[in-house]
Copies of this chain bind each other. A is one copy, B any other.
Amino acid sequence: MTQAPAKQSAREKLLDAAFSVIRAQGYSATSVDDLCRAAGVTKGAFFHHFASKEALAVAAANHWNETTSALFAAAPYHAPEDPLDRVLGYLDFRRAILQGDLPEFTCLVGTMVQEAYGSNPEIRDACRVSIFDHAAHIERDIAEAMDRRGMTTTEWTARSLALHTQAVLQGAFILAKAEGTAEGGAALAAQSVDHLKRYIEMLFTLEERANAA
């Protein structure tokens, strides 16, 4: 648990470079030389730390999982006592971090898995773990919110709703990229998050009305 000071190893520099370069260009279009240039290291350093370009992608996906886990764990939305408020707070947080250029707020593993799912199982698995692990965190709050309200539905589960939130976010990123500008794209993504939040509010509000009746 050292807190990386000024000195950063070539490995760390390469992983950081991978985050930004791959999110901007995609995995296949990013060459090993691109990564070395962005990280300010040589090819020798690259292949000293990673057996292959593929191995770096797997390491980057795992590192992404750790980095984002820490980011969301440290986020303020966990404070509310009502788990539903935590879920809605999570969405507010996701909406709030839609800032800067597109490669800065889009998802590394969502981008990579599209290029790797068919031809590179190891990368795909690392991406899947990152996405589904993250969804599992939200699932816990959703399940607790349902539990607390005694909600029973056969139509959907906490898991399917948690995965749906991730689908909305990933899809919002695609539309943002298609839109062209960072601001316009972020606004588009924010609107999708708003729709999602409204949906979840309605799901739980209707339940409370039903219980009240």
Interface residues of A (CB under 8 A from B): 24-29, 102-103, 109-111, 113-115, 117-119, 121, 124-125, 127-128, 131-132, 155-156, 160-161, 163-164, 166-172, 174-175, 177-180, 188-189, 191-192, 194-195, 198-199, 202-203, 206
Residues of B with C-beta under 8 A to A125: 180
Determine if B180 and A175 form an interchain contact, defined as CB atoms under 8 angstroms apart: no
- Tell whether, in the assembled complex, residue A192 and residue B167 are in contact, meaning their CB atoms are under 8 Å apart: yes
Q: Which label, helix, strand, loop or mixed, suits the secondary structure of the A interface?
A: helix
In the complex, A37→B144 CA distance in Å? 53
Minimum Cβ distance to chain B for residue A135 (Å): 9
Interface centre among A125, A177, A178, A179 (most CB of B within 10 A): A178
Name the contact of A115 in the complex, choosing from B25, B160, B169 (C-beta under 8 A).
B25
